[in-house]
Structure 1
């Protein structure tokens, strides 16, 4: 696909971590905060008794994404589509990543997160943080909140003593907890409160970009809205940018400004949230949206739930042509042969479907 920005493609000679790029992005007022270029994460599959690689699982298979400062980009799809792997690759937590993850630091330097030295890695770890899905498993039960939340400050910034305690107390208060919680252990808190601790731990170094990986999926429905509202309030207060990974499209609709839909390791549709939910152009997106609950009972009977036939194909052996054609009710002979590129059909709306202009798909009423 044509380059979205003037950020160089992965593998361009002379481009390295720390290289500066001050040129504005085409079609945008400012350069991107983060952009992936041809991002791939493939896992080897070895047969029992053999040391050689038999197959490669294409968990992320050539993804181009752009995040602008201050926005929330939703990343959605079925389990196994690669969205969590993509999020961890952005954080630099995956080995064997191919392509590039360009990040513009707070000091204006352009870093490729796939090729960071120790000094650049420390800066990146402070500015790009993660909120994990399970607040029970992500917090060490043997550490107090002072130790848990303060660890990034000690490791990344060398903060200790009274300053450490004061900064940890301050971030706990910002996420809705109290100063006198500093000496308590995680077991003393509810699931929603533990997730507030996880949020505090992610935000205490002062990041600019946060990857929220299913940040509310493990919480009770009554607590989810509180955490989502907290995340939005913190975004406004701290100028944060979110990559919001979720399988819950109703949550994504509530918090995200743009949405990217993933299927079998690839992005099949990208658009502003209102455009994508109101006018989906890919059959897979239409199927996902058909499962979103409609609060107004008068509108619930106006659309039919689309149930996809068949199982998600094996990412180690994806179908030829369009990966979705084996489950698509609109597929033609061309779909089984030619892989559709991700192309822009209207300003800001990209879709990987040969028949996007011809189909009339149903969105939310």
Structure 2
């Protein structure tokens, strides 16, 4: 609306007569312009309404510019801004956004040149006003298109993260089925055998019961191993998967590892920690860079996952699981479950704002955890 200063300057200098008509015309242009912006940004309003208002502002601007001349031609760049707003929103729904830009912004720029020619402006003035109209419209439309593209990319990243979590859950379900399917079938068969021979051969029934106990204990151990480490997917594989997932999500990933290889237990636990931390970075942090470091001094191994995001939350996180503020997760089970798993292995989990900005997740576990 700062562009209205030029017509106001003409009115103050007595160059717009009659004054009352100039005031009415300027107020009408301003009202229509505000109505265009409000309706274009309101998703509940059909797009035909702001388009009709642009047509109205085009006609009104042309009439008052030709009638009052001088600084009133600055209303055409204001018209370009309004057209850019409408085109920027309408192009998201149109199949040919470039065509809508050409027709809309090019059309009002042509009207600007025609109005200048009818009003007797010289070529330099006509060219300057037309250039200002085109620039105002294109810049506005392109910025709105960029915001729309950013929103779509952000939604796509969220969907990819959710799809990755879903696929991991499906894989884990298949693992549990493979683990327990045969074992439970075997236990059922042996239980049936006990029922059949219990009266005739107590010794054989006791042997079958012992077998059931052995099979059950072995299955319980396999399930515990699967739950704690996702069975066979250790830290190295998780770091590779994390680097790929972060890069796919547009996050610059750096992975540093120092020290000797880890035993199976800590290796699986840290793999779980990497998976949980990277999932939260992708889904909630809004980060552009993420650094993962693993340091093993022979006694304890420290995993640090640091990003430069702020997340939609911003609250102070609580490692007990009630809040994961920088990632915007309240009451989530990921960090709480991770804390509980590390506590079983005498490990610790620390999460909070990192020095210098961003967020830091630090996990420490002993190389040889107590049993």
TM-score range relative to shorter protein: under 0.3
Q: Where is the helix percentage greater, Structure 1 or Structure 2?
A: 2
Q: Which has the higher contact order (CA 8 A, sep 6+)?
A: 1
- How does the TM-score come out when normalised to structure 2? 0.21
Q: Where is the strand percentage greater, Structure 1 or Structure 2?
A: 1
- How does the TM-score come out when normalised to structure 1? 0.22
